[in-house]
Amino acid sequence: MYACFRSIGAYVPKNVLTNHDLEQRVDTSDEWITKRTGIKTRHIADKDETTSDMGTKAARLALERAAMQPDDIDMIVCATISPDYFCMPSTACMIAKKLGVANVPAMDISAACSGFIYALATAKAYIEAGMAKNVLIIGAEKLSAIVDWTDRTTCILFGDGAGAAIVSATENKEEAIIDVNIAADGKYYNYLITPGCGTNHPCSEEVLKERACFIKMKGNETFKVAVKTLTSDVEEILAKNGIASEQITHFIPHQANYRILNAVANALGLSDDQVVMTVSKYGNTSSASIPMAMNEIYEAGKLKKGDLMLLDAFGGGFTWGSALVPFCG
Ligand SMILES: CC(C)(COP(=O)(O)OP(=O)(O)OC[C@H]1O[C@@H](n2cnc3c(N)ncnc32)[C@H](O)[C@@H]1OP(=O)(O)O)[C@@H](O)C(=O)NCCC(=O)NCCS
């Protein structure tokens, strides 16, 4: 049995936060943000809108596009670093509840911006092992709730949103996900970190005063490792599978910063019409960024059955991953 990528859906919250809005909050400028990141706007969830609310909406669309009912799902995997609840229950359990799905495994994956590719790897492995037939994978984030809105070095980067996909069993090798590669190196753990409120620094007045429960990042150092790793990761997966970069229809990288994406695309010799770029509209939405970008080209009528997608992600941990995926929608 093989695993195939059957459908895509996404949800984007309606509130738009522009660079000019951010100029009113921190010492920054539209010019600086645009030049250093390529980001112009990001979408922000409502106060009472949770990560699972957004994930559920994306999941419903993915189900509808696969012509499936929630009951057809036999596993739910949600990648997120901004779960509804701190420790439990998982966001996947909340999505299962909202979809009305019971008695199937539901679990979260914590792999930061690489989360969607980790979820894809998990779905593929369960299907190939004969342990699942239709897996709902989700990348959903309410990063606005874990961003320090007084820190100009991070708050300009992130946004909210969700994407979801159905990965199904197939006997047709032509439809099969070709390869998924995931990896990590914990020696970089403190480059991108929420230092407080875990067991290392449990929640206390001091932790809250130091704003240690929010995202902290060594931006410049992260940038360098990201470019190097995203490039070598893709070179490796293409070489391993004997695929040339010209054969890729859509290169869909994690949307962190247009300078990172340009550097990777140039190193790989990919043309502009192969590279999917949504970072200017949505900013960095972590695990949601790849499925949101994929949904964008799907809704624009550019993603067609049989197109070969190359996914590539890098994030806190550090974690990274890449995947070669024919679209079977
Ligand atoms: C965050 C990032 C955009 C910063 O760009 P950079 O070119 O590395 O900028 P630096 O951090 O070196 O800062 C340059 C200057 O701009 C200032 N600066 C930082 N944020 C600013 C902001 N929002 N507005 C204006 N100035 C800002 C800094 O204080 C620094 O000033 P100084 O030279 O007087 O000390 C960039 O490092 C980046 O994108 N990193 C990777 C982020 C990422 O991808 N993270 C997620 C991985 S999945």
pLDDT tens, the chain, 329 aa long = 999 999 999 999 999 999 999 999 999 999 999 999 999 999 999 999 999 999 999 999 999 999 999 999 999 999 999 999 999 999 999 999 999 999 999 999 999 999 999 999 999 999 999 999 999 999 999 999 999 999 999 999 999 999 999 999 999 999 999 999 999 999 999 999 999 999 999 999 999 999 999 999 999 999 999 999 999 999 999 999 999 999 999 999 999 999 999 999 999 999 999 999 999 999 999 999 999 999 999 999 999 999 999 999 999 999 999 999 999 98
| Boundary of a domain, candidates 110, 145, 172 | 172
32-66 burial, b at 16+ Cβ within 10 Å, e below that, comes to ebeebbbbbbbbbbeeebbbbbbbbbbbbbbbebb
* 122 and 192 share one domain: no
Tell me the pTM.
0.97
| CA 154 to ligand 1 center in whole angstroms | 8
- Beta pairing partners, 108: 78
* 167 and 22 share one domain: yes
* 108 and 209 share one domain: no
* 184 and 302 share one domain: yes
The torsion angles phi and psi of 276, rounded to 5 degrees, stand at -95, 125
Atom nearest to 36 CA in ligand 1: 3
Look up 254 and say whether it is catalytic: yes
* 165 and 230 share one domain: no
Look up 113 and say whether it is catalytic: yes
Q: Which of 33, 34, 153, 155 to mutate to test the pocket of ligand 1 (most atoms within 8 A of CB)?
A: 153
Task: Name the active-site residue from 4, 113, 155, 328.
Answer: 113
Dihedral over Cα of 151, 152, 154, 159: its sign = positive
Angle at 184 between CA 163 and CA 327, to 5 degrees: 35
| Boundary of a domain, candidates 172, 196, 226 | 172
* 84 and 151 share one domain: yes
* Pocket of ligand 1 contains residue 257 by CB under 6 Å: yes
- Tally of structural domains, the chain: 2
Angle at 33 between CA 47 and CA 294, to 5 degrees: 65
pLDDT given at position 145: 98
* 199 and 301 share one domain: yes
* d(C-alpha 199, C-alpha 240), whole Å: 40
* 215 and 292 share one domain: yes
Kindly report the protein residue whose alpha carbon is nearest to atom 18 of ligand 1: 153
- Are the C-beta atoms of residues 13 and 54 closer than 8 Å to each other? yes
* 187 and 315 share one domain: yes
pLDDT given at position 115: 98
* 290 and 320 share one domain: yes
* 187 and 145 share one domain: no
pLDDT given at position 17: 98
Task: Name the active-site residue from 254, 257, 295, 328.
Answer: 254
Q: What is the CATH number of the domain that holds 105?
A: 3.40.47.10
* 270 and 290 share one domain: yes
216: containing domain? 179-326
The residue written with tokens 């100029």 in the block is: 23
| Boundary of a domain, candidates 123, 139, 172 | 172
